[in-house]
């Protein structure tokens, strides 16, 4: 049975390119596993969606009898038995996966949520004062400094490209998109190196095509009213 | 060889009871694995600490040849082959572990960091305005509502008590300590149920004893000056 990946039916421009179904598309392209895409409404959340995912988030995958959410758990599940989660280096890859999703992403989201609130207060709430945002940026930069030191001259976090790199690069692309990665040249190179992978490019192309098709569906629905 | 758990040498009162070495003590008490505790300076960070842990965080464990950080990865490593990470339910336990550390903890830390800034601006930076903090609280509460719905009438997140419960309860205890869990009676019961476990009580007793001993060491050092 083909795996089904759930993402949102439509979203405005600003999160496109960063919605977390992209992480799952990327690992599926790396492993060459076919999949189909289905959707859940972004707003309001549907009861069917909340039954699959209690937090109303995406991605969700349905893989045979298994329904699974949390991008970290999905990366581990889909990486299992492949070179993206090698048995010989499993514990360290897991360490870097959690470093991406618990340490680095937590500090990145704390900061970027504040930054986005200055532009999209209807989505992210009233913006904090600049001095508060700057403190959050410095806390994030301390994490990025540690990451850059740990990466050193290596191409990838473990010996080879793994699911930990998919998670970490997806977090760092958020920093880059807000213009805050340039101070960390080795992290810029790391993101660029990952972005050159054909699997990333196919995943991103399909991700963006999904939103264009969603615009067309939305326009057709509104015309049909 | 006995496993070594690293935590900080000394910390002020306010984070005691919530430092992340507690998660590791808890899983070690559940599995009955002996361990010793060693320390790294909380401030300033030492080069030796940063060589083990690039973000300057704790916990770190040294288990034979393996040096491992990230509490999520440590929980998986120490749970491996035990009833806390059952092979038959591994994928779902992993899902809930990531739900604790990526979805729930991210929203909790975004809020609680703001709350702590109102009391400890030297540590957490200038406090945001109340309206900003309230928005972060509502975002967190939406996650807690989803979690409470998912838990339903179950005792634990998976069929039995697992490492996912250790991670989730440790996150929820932070919410409880700031008086924000009472709106979620099933989550209060869940935390209370976990706290009744002898392994938790031994872990917490040893954790608090560590800080009392650290106070004594600090006082002796200062007297000796």
Task: Enter the pTM of the model.
Answer: 0.98
Cα distances (Å, whole numbers) of residue B169 to A97, B27, B38: 21, 12, 25
DSSP state of B99: I
Do the chains contact at A98 and B71, CB–CB below 8 Å?
yes
Nearest to A8 by CA among A36, A35, A43: A43
Contact assignment for A132 to B125 by CB distance below 8 Å: yes
Write out the CATH class of domain A87-197.
mainly alpha
The span from the CA of A150 to the CA of A157, in Å, is: 8
What is the torsion angle, in degrees rounded to the nearest 10, for the CA atoms of residue B112, residue B116, residue B121 and residue B127? 60
Q: What sign results for the dihedral spanned by CA atoms A65, B72, A172, B146?
A: positive
Beta-carbon contacts of residue B79 (< 8 Å; ≥ 6 apart): B27, B31, B85, B162, B163
Kind of pairing between the strands at B66-69 and B60-63: antiparallel
Sheet holding A35-40, edge to edge: A35-40, A3-8, A60-63, A66-69
Report the pLDDT value the prediction gives residue A225, as an integer from 0 to 100.
59
CATH class of domain segment(s) A3-83+199-216: alpha beta
What is the distance in angstroms between the Cα of B216 and the nearest Cα belonging to chain A?
31
Model confidence pLDDT, tens digit, residues B12-34: 999 999 999 999 999 999 999 99
Spans of all domains in chain B: 3-83+199-211, 87-196
Q: What's the rounded Cα separation, in Å, for the pair B144 and B174?
A: 13
Give B138-189 pLDDT, tens digit per residue. 999 999 999 999 999 999 999 999 999 999 999 999 999 999 999 999 999 9
Could you report the per-residue pLDDT of B29-83, keeping only the tens digit for each? 999 999 999 999 999 999 999 999 999 999 999 999 999 999 999 999 999 999 9
pLDDT for position B136: 98
**Topology annotation, domain B87-196:** Glutathione S-transferase Yfyf (Class Pi); Chain A, domain 2 (1.20.1050)
| Chain A residues closer than 8 Å to B132 by CB | 117, 125-128, 132
- pLDDT at position A108: 98
Q: Do B106 and A109 touch (CB under 8 A)?
A: yes
Residue B67 has what pLDDT?
97
Kindly provide the ipTM of the predicted complex, given to two decimals: 0.97
Closest Cβ opposite residue A131 in set B98, B101, B126: B126
Task: Tell me the shortest Cα–Cα distance from B69 to chain A, in angstroms.
Answer: 6
Report chain B residues whose CB lies below 8 A from the CB of A129.
Answer: 126, 128-129
- Select from A154, A166, A130 the least CA-distant residue to A20: A166
Question: Rounded to an integer, what distance in angstroms lies between the CA atom of residue B135 and that of residue A127?
Answer: 10
pLDDT in tens, chain A (225 residues): 799 999 999 999 999 999 999 999 999 999 999 999 999 999 999 999 999 999 999 999 999 999 999 999 999 999 999 999 999 999 999 999 999 999 999 999 999 999 999 999 999 999 999 999 999 999 999 999 999 999 999 999 999 999 999 999 999 999 999 999 999 999 999 999 999 999 999 999 999 999 999 999 999 988 875
d(CA B79, CA B28): 9
Contacts of A147 (CB under 8 A, 6+ apart): A99, A104, A168, A184, A187, B54, B55
For the domain covering B3-83+199-211, report its CATH number.
3.40.30.10
* Residues paired with residue A219 on neighbouring β-strands, in sequence order: none
Helix (H) or strand (E) run with residue A7 in it = strand A3-8
pLDDT of residue B225: 59
Helix residue ranges per DSSP H, A53-197: 71-79, 90-98, 105-119, 121-124, 130-151, 163-177, 185-195
Model pLDDT, residue B222: 87
Strand order in the sheet with B3-8: B35-40, B3-8, B60-63, B66-69
The mean per-residue pLDDT over the stretch B87-97 comes to: 97
């Amino acid at each position: 049975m083909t795996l089904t990946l759930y993402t949102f039916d439509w979203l405005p421009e600003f999160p496109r390119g960063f919605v977390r179904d992209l992480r799952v598309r990327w690992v599926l392209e790396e492993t060459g596993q076919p999949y189909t895409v289905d959707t859940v409404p972004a707003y309001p959340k549907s009861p069917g969606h909340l039954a699959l995912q209690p937090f109303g988030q995406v991605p969700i995958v349905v893989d045979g009898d298994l329904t699974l959410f949390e991008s970290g758990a999905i990366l581990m599940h889909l990486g299992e038995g492949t070179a993206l989660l090698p048995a010989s280096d499993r514990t360290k890859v897991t360490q870097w996966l959690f470093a991406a999703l618990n340490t680095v992403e937590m500090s990145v989201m704390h900061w970027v949520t504040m930054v986005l609130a200055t532009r999209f207060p209807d989505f992210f709430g009233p913006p904090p004062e600049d001095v508060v945002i700057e403190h959050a940026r410095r806390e994030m930069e301390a994490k990025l400094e540690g990451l850059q030191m740990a990466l050193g001259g290596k191409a990838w976090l473990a010996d080879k490209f793994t699911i930990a790199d998919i998670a970490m690069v997806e977090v760092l692309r958020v920093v880059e998109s807000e213009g805050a990665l340039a101070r960390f040249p080795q992290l810029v190179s790391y993101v660029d190196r990952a972005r050159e992978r054909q699997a990333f490019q196919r995943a991103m192309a399909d991700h963006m095509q999904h939103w264009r098709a969603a615009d067309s569906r939305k326009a057709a629905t509104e015309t049909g009213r």
